[in-house]
Structure 1
Amino acid sequence: MEKWNHTSNDFILLGLFPLKQTGLLLLCLVIIIFFLASVGNLAMIHLIHVDPCLHTPMYFLLSQLSLMDLMCISSIVPKMAFNFLSGQKGISFLGCGVQSFFFVTTIGSEGLLLASMAYDRYVAICHPLHYPTHMSNKMCMKMIIGSWTVGSINSLAHSVYTLRIPYCRSRAIDHFFCDIPAMLSLACMDTWVHEYMVFMSTTLFLLLPFLGITASYGRVLFAVYNMRSKEGRKKAFTTCSTHLTVVIFYCVPFFYNYLRPRNLRSPAEDKILSVFYTILTPMLNPVIYSLMNKEVLGAMKRVFGIFSSLKE
């Protein structure tokens, strides 16, 4: 191990599963989840693109959420599966940087995008008469471009800094992808400044949007409760509670991983919690946003012919 460390600039990913039959079974499950997530998110992007009924700000934002989820899981699972099946654990220096960049970009951009989606629902339900002006297509595009741009700049800064610090200890990352906190623990210099920056980025890109999302949906649910239309109340409540559930499932494990002090963290716990926001959420998002949404179900019927046989 020490000889390898002194003769190569590459990293080693210790992985998520043990190299046993149990690990193989779990990997097969992850590959199935990856397949479902890829098909589901691609289907959502295609539906929103081709069906005119879904050409609204809410669904344009949802299409970007699907794209971010697809990018996140695609940057992690294929490499993890290849390393396990081939018996190799290495990842190149450049490959680690690219993987880290795409992961941090999608995480930061998704936090901002989820806040935009919450704002969209808030305006649509609490101020419906102002919706065309507050959530125009132009405003929607600004939200999308802003989320990608700010998330990318933040990710680039973190990725470049992480790759430039000296790694004079073992280059074995105790994780299944190039997670920045796991990499910082291998550095032979004091990294408290960058750890603080990771904490601040998590706060700015996820914690503050999460608090805003929670407050927004709380206001929306209060407005929903006072609706006169029973059908409208049911539809709005389902939409908002679904969005909030997804956000909680996505953000809470991330907060627990990234906002804890280093002395309270453990690699095994970090890896298990990372599965929620890197593998499970990208699969659940298209399922939840489609099966619990009549407009998306209608688009699936029109575009793919799904469910048409049920009426015959």
Structure 2
Amino acid sequence: MNVRNYTIIIEFILVGFSEFKDLQLLLFIMFLLMYIITVLGNTSIILAYTLTTILNTPMYLFLTHFSFLEICYVTSTLPKLLSNLAGDKTISFYNCALQMYCFFLLVGTECCMLAAMAYDRYNAICHPLLYSTIMNNTVCIQLIGGSWLIAAVNSLIHTALTFSLPFCNDRTINHFFCDFPSVLKLACTDIWITETVSFITGGSIIVGSLMLTIISYTLIILTILKTYSRSNKAFSTCTSHFMVITIFYGSGMFMYLGPNTKYAKYQERLVSLMYTIIAPLLNPFIYSLRNNEVKLAIRHSLSLIISVHKY
């Protein structure tokens, strides 16, 4: 094992977007607005499900939980980015570990939830007569709880392996949050075991969830083509979910599996924006703008809130 001189790290320095010194205020305002819109947009879906009975189905239960995940997901990174743009570029060792744990916990849960949502759509379209029996409340709760449990174990492995490594004097993380690859680059020892174990555990969740999602949608498309015309609204039912999957997995794969170019240090941060900030921002609009039931439920919930405040 080739171990270089290392020191006890108390805090790290996050590079953020320090290259754009003249744009710090503009970036702060832009990301703050994105955060507010993301929280409000996803909260509106949660309130629409909670305050009305229009969305009282397993599909919207999953969507509501997914919206809650998106709020937590963007909160795990964006507030620290805002703090970074305001001038505080340091993050303590333990806060960095906590941020990485929360990030991987939420990413893993989202992967599993997307697979669960695809499984729900598969049963709704391929087995409509048995749908209410298959997707009962117990099964839905088990799928949601299982998603959290699997992700929690995976995140614990990633975080424990990473922060048990010795770190060198260089404590500058070339990112706007404590991402796994960026922190590993600061280690002063061979990281092969950490990378291998993390690749196996994390890869199993990502690939497994993606394969289940692909299989579900393949069966859905085949069923639709057999029983309906191409213009049938069954295609539209799954379009929103498919768009979210494409954004989430597409940007993530480009980030971790994309080519290592001379622009990699910038590419890593810019692509990360897509799945850490842009995706949670777009998701409520993707689901609500294409879904009349969601739009109607949101209007009803807002009317109810306004009427309560009046009295």
TM-score using structure 1 length: 0.89
Residue in 2 that maps onto 1:309: none
Equivalent residue letter for 2:189: M
Cα distance change, pair 264–253 in 1 and its aligned pair in 2 (3 A): farther
**1-side partners of 2:8 and 2:154: how far apart?**
31
8 Å contact 1:171–1:186 — kept in the other structure? yes
8 Å contact 2:9–2:167 — kept in the other structure? no
**2-side partners of 1:202 and 1:265: how far apart?**
26
8 Å contact 1:14–1:174 — kept in the other structure? yes
TM superposition shift of 1:262: 7.6
8 Å contact 1:207–1:255 — kept in the other structure? no
Equivalent residue letter for 2:64: S
Cα distance change, pair 7–182 in 1 and its aligned pair in 2 (3 A): closer
8 Å contact 1:112–1:209 — kept in the other structure? yes
List alignment gaps of at least 5 residues for structure 1. 307-312
**1-side partners of 2:270 and 2:191: how far apart?**
24
**2-side partners of 1:154 and 1:265: how far apart?**
30
TM superposition shift of 1:227: 3.6
List alignment gaps of at least 5 residues for structure 2. 1-5, 305-311
Deviation string for 1:276-310 (max 9, x for gaps)? 1100111111111111111111111211139xxxx
Cα distance change, pair 209–267 in 1 and its aligned pair in 2 (3 A): same
SS of 2:54's equivalent in the other structure is helix
**2-side partners of 1:223 and 1:118: how far apart?**
14
**Percent of paired sites with the same residue:** 36
1:295 paired with 2:293, answer yes
Residue in 2 that maps onto 1:49: 50
8 Å contact 2:45–2:298 — kept in the other structure? no
Residue in 2 that maps onto 1:73: 74
Deviation string for 1:150-194 (max 9, x for gaps)? 111111121122111110240110000000111001100111111
**2-side partners of 1:45 and 1:94: how far apart?**
32
Cα distance change, pair 263–272 in 1 and its aligned pair in 2 (3 A): closer
TM superposition shift of 1:264: 9.0
1:201 paired with 2:201, answer yes
Cα distance change, pair 262–166 in 1 and its aligned pair in 2 (3 A): farther
8 Å contact 2:48–2:300 — kept in the other structure? no
**1-side partners of 2:50 and 2:18: how far apart?**
38
Deviation string for 1:255-290 (max 9, x for gaps)? 222246889992211111111110011111111111
Residue in 2 that maps onto 1:174: 174
Deviation string for 1:212-257 (max 9, x for gaps)? 2123212212322344488xx6332112122112101111221222
**2-side partners of 1:78 and 1:182: how far apart?**
19
1:143 paired with 2:143, answer yes
Equivalent residue letter for 1:27: F
Aligned residues: 299
Which one scores higher on RCO, CA 8 angstroms, separation ≥ 6? 2
TM superposition shift of 1:119: 0.5
1:132 paired with 2:132, answer yes
8 Å contact 1:169–1:187 — kept in the other structure? no
8 Å contact 2:122–2:217 — kept in the other structure? yes
Equivalent residue letter for 1:139: V
SS of 2:186's equivalent in the other structure is coil
8 Å contact 1:221–1:240 — kept in the other structure? no
Shifted more, 291-300 versus 194-203: the winner is 194-203
8 Å contact 1:169–1:188 — kept in the other structure? no
Q: Whose helix proportion is higher, 1 or 2?
A: 1
Matches within 5 A, 1:82-93: 82-85=83-86, 87-93=87-93
SS of 2:167's equivalent in the other structure is coil
TM superposition shift of 1:199: 2.2
TM superposition shift of 1:19: 4.5
Residue in 1 that maps onto 2:110: 110
Residue in 2 that maps onto 1:62: 63
Residue in 2 that maps onto 1:16: 17
1:188 paired with 2:188, answer yes
Equivalent residue letter for 2:298: M
**1-side partners of 2:109 and 2:115: how far apart?**
10
**1-side partners of 2:272 and 2:256: how far apart?**
10
User: Among residues 271, 278, 288, which one is paired with 1:273 in the alignment?
Assistant: 271
SS of 2:222's equivalent in the other structure is helix
**1-side partners of 2:127 and 2:11: how far apart?**
54
Equivalent residue letter for 2:280: P
